[in-house]
Amino acid sequence: MMDALWRDLRFALRGLMRSPAFTAIAVLTLALGIGANTAIFSVINAVLLRPLAYAQPDQLVSLRARLLGRGRKDVPMSQPEYQDLRREVPAIRDLAAVWPININLTGSDEPERIQAAVVSSNYFSLLGVAPVLGRDFTKADDGGRIGYVALISYDLWQRRFGGERSVIGKTVRLDDDPITIVGVMPRGFRHPVESGASPMELWAPIALDNPDTTFMNVRPARVFDLIGRIQPGATVDQLQAQLLALTGRLATRYPDSYPTALGWQAEGIPLAERVVGNVRPALLVLLGAVGFVLLIGCANVANLLLARATTRDREIAIRTAMGGSRGRLIQQLLTESVLLATVGGLVGLLIAAWGTSALGDLARLYLPRARDITIDHSVLGFTAFLTILTGLGFGIIPAFQASRPDLQSVLKDAGRGASAGAPRNRVRGALVVMEVAVALVLLAGAGLLLRSFQRLISVEEGFNPEHLLALQVWLPVQNDPSKGRYFTDPQRRAFYDRAQAAVGQVPGVRQVALVSRLPYRGRGDTRFEIEGRPIPPDQPPPVAEGRQVTPEYFQTMQIPIRRGRTLAAVVDSTSPVEVVINQTMASKYWPGEDPIDRRIRLFGPRGPMATIVGVAGDVRQVAPDQPPREELFLSSQRFPGQEMAFLVRTEGDPAGLGSAVTRAIRQVDPQQPVFGIMPMEKVIANASAERRFSLLLLTLFAGLALLLSAIGIYGVMAYNTTQRRHEIGIRMALGAGSREVLGLVVGQGMRLVGLGLLFGLTGAWVLSRVLTSQLYDVSARDPFTYLTVAVLLGAVALAALYVPARRAVRLDPMTSLRSE
């Protein structure tokens, strides 16, 4: 058995080496297909399949809440809720709290803004991961205040401390507070729900059993992501049932905190599901798409093998005549196919290695666990499996076809006329139909995403992002805020005023404004109440998107003031509170009325009363695909926050001014990190990174499918033309001119293509719903897209057919007639 296999392998190898052109084309086609599949699978493996790198990850759950009354989900929990869950949900064995924050790291090297988390001391032990250096947190690390000790990530240890073991015990400053590093987490440890773009690099403890009500110990302070470990044997369904019961009890116990209209509801889901988020459908679509590409590749190689089998009829007939069984012949032919696929698979791995790296970079912006994308044992196993499957897949039909030659006609060499190869022609034709159909499905998907993306980027942002640089600062907040350099409003106002003036002096800067949160960087509700319109007790208060801005904001962003004026300059915190609202808010609350000089109370019953002084144009604040919501702008001079973004309108390319602007801010405070420096256009682009990722890959795969299909159509028709040259010669002798010959070849090809388009349109129609969630302002069954891609594919097919058709026209009938 092994001897026969070895013989087959050697024979197959010799055969492939004898046909270098065939081998090269087949290997390249397979390598592209297998490589692309491997690369996408490496993403799927890292993001969806690989278990979370924590102890018994199937016991880990994520606990958040829904606000049904406001249509919101994934709402963090408060400290009292954390305590309620620990006490009253028996399915939970342990519960850790995480408050993700950004923090300024100073004290050595350049000041840096890093992603950090304040966590309950059981965070690491709950996840079952111990530090690689130093120690874990203990309850003693936190005496009712955010800890003065920290654990750092392996990457931060390497980057900032050179990987020196002496880092343990070292003191750095986090938001000006001295913090002692007590441990380093192992390489590859990641916070479960971190962004690929900004990984968590430091953890500090917080004791959540602190009874001090000023210390975040109030129910509305919902800042904590909760990670739980359920009891062995308990299920997420049981947990969810207990959470629903708790929801009811809390609503009864604390009606003020949980009004019926709010619809607060605790929710627990497997942590792995939370990590994956909503990227699963997009990734599965990509896996399907890349599978289609491989299918087309297989069809091409199968076609090549079928064509090659014709030239081997005599060899196979002789083997059969000498007693070779059909099974034995099939085994030999399949050995060749699998060998071909193996070489393709190996080259594909090289493509995948490059592709995986490129995908990782591309995906880091939005994909969870994107940093774990790598070619590991699972991916290699998948590739090996896929390679064998591919080899069998494209080899089986040609092997069965080739293994039953018409002995008499082949050996007598008396086969004549087009009918001799009819079964193979039918198979080849069917493969072309399939290729075209699959390519059309991919093209339709890519076309829909492209059209959707076109709509998205043509959406009016409401401001002019060109020549606009964005950057952020976050003033430090010490554990004892009263000791901070930026504790008071005047301190913060002074910094911002000086920094704004300094940036304004940078050559190339035309205008500078500040805003508390950039557009497309999430939403932030500000509660308000309109004077004279009391809120019914059972209704939640109205909220609007709230931003603090400097008076120059509207002019710098080029947001028109439709009515009234911009905010007045404010010199201290006693100035009257002014507010500018957007058009959506004006239309919703003062339809047909002039809102100017109307008053609203901000932040709650004890908040300040503000006068509306202007109505600004609408801006898409939350995301490009979400319509503008009600928005109100307050003076950042009146309410100077800890976090502000600078918006710098520049004369030329904004990217070139980043360093100069950073230096200007550092002149005001050398310890102040400046981060997130990027042109506003990139901020917008990043907001649609997920769509770009899907679009780019699906377009790439569709392009590949189009190319492979064209090659497939060309290959089949070129082969058919060669095979039919005698028939074409006869037709020419009977009076067929170039038009008739052209029509014969093109007509035959286009019949197959037409059938493929028909199947493809049907397939695209059926599969369209899988893309629905990724589309914006385009129907998944958009007829224009379907028609366009069908015409495109038809045109490409026509071009692919033209070459063999021209060749047929140029045939010399005399030579063709002699060829039989």
Partner 1 sequence: MPLAYDPLIRLQGVTRIFHTEEVETHALSRIDLEIRAGEYVAVCGPSGCGKTSLLSILGLLDSPSEGSYVLAGEPVSTLNAEQRARVRARAIGFVFQAFNLIGDLTVYQNVELPLRYRGLGAAERRAAAHEALERVGLLHRLHHYPGQLSGGQQQRVAVARAVAGKPLVILADEPTGNLDSANGAGVMALLGELHAGGATLVVVTHDPRYLREAQRSIYLFDGRVVPAARRDREVA
Task: By CB under 8 A, name the binding residues for partner 1.
Answer: 416-420, 422, 726-727, 730-738, 740, 813-814, 817, 820
Question: Nearest approach, Cβ of 721 to partner 1 (angstroms)?
Answer: 15
Residue 78 in tokens:
């408060």
| Tokens (6 digits) for 348 | 């594909």
Residue 691 to residue 459: CA distance in whole angstroms? 15
Rg (CA), the chain: 34
With respect to partner 1, which residue has the nearer C-beta, 116 or 750?
750
Which residues on adjacent β-strands are paired with residue 469? 648, 679
Nearest to partner 1 of 383, 720 (CB atom): 720
Q: Toward partner 1, which CB reaches closer, 370 or 752?
A: 752
Paired residues of 77 in beta bridges: 224
Report how far residue 246's alpha carbon sits from residue 252's, in angstroms, rounded to the nearest whole number: 10
Query: Shortest Cβ distance from residue 291 to partner 1 (Å)?
Result: 35
CB of 418 to partner 1, least distance (A): 4
Closest CA to 59 of 116, 143, 13, 128: 128
Q: Please identify, using beta-carbon distances, which residue of 404 and 663 lies nearer to partner 1.
A: 404
Of 146 and 736, nearer to partner 1 (C-beta) is 736
CB-nearer residue toward partner 1: 262 or 742: 742
Looking at the Cβ atoms of 106 and 720, the one nearer to partner 1 is 720
Q: How far is the CB of 299 from partner 1 (least distance, A)?
A: 23
- Please count the helices (runs of H) and the strands (runs of E) in the chain: 23, 22
Question: Identity (one letter) of the amino acid at 498?
Answer: R
Q: Give the nearer residue to partner 1 in terms of CB position, either 168 or 732.
A: 732
Residue 21, classified by CB atoms within 10 Å of its CB into exposed (0-12), middle (13-18) or buried (19+), is: exposed
If you write DSSP's letter for every residue of 653-666 in order, what string do you get? -GGGGHHHHHHHHH
| Residue-wise DSSP of 356-408 | HHHHHHHHTTT-TTGGG----HHHHHHHHHHHHHHHHHHHHHHHHHHTS--HH
In whole angstroms, the minimum distance from the beta carbon of 722 to partner 1 comes to 16
Cβ nearer to partner 1, comparing 143 with 737: 737
Query: How buried is 167 (Cβ within 10 angstroms: 0-12 exposed, 13-18 middle, 19+ buried)?
Result: buried
Please say which residue, 641 or 743, places its beta carbon nearer to partner 1: 743
Positive or negative, the Cα torsion across 361, 621, 63, 143? positive
In angstroms, rounded to a whole number, what is the distance separating the alpha carbons of residues 204 and 224? Answer: 14
Phi and psi angles of residue 96, each rounded to the nearest 5 degrees, phi first:
-115, 150
Smallest separation (angstroms) from partner 1 to the CB of 752: 15
**Least distance from partner 1 to the Cβ atom of residue 420, Å:** 7
Enumerate the β-bridge partners of residue 548. 634
Nearer Cβ to partner 1, position 535 or 730? 730
Q: How far is the CB of 429 from partner 1 (least distance, A)?
A: 12
Cα–Cα distance, 333 to 338 (Å, whole number):
9
Helix (H/G/I), strand (E/B), else coil: 493: helix
> Smallest gap, in angstroms, from Cβ of residue 422 to partner 1?
7
Distance CA 244, CA 236 (A): 12
Taking the complex as a whole, the smallest distance from the CB of residue 11 to partner 1 amounts, in Å, to: 33
Choose among 394, 423, 434: nearest CA to 303.
Answer: 394
Nearer to partner 1, 322 or 734 (CB): 734
Strands 177-184 and 171-174: antiparallel
Nearest to 509 by CA among 496, 500, 498: 500
- Whole-angstrom distance, CA of residue 782 vs CA of residue 768: 10
As measured in angstroms, the least distance from the Cβ of 732 to partner 1 is 6
Closest approach of partner 1 to the CB of residue 432, in Å:
17
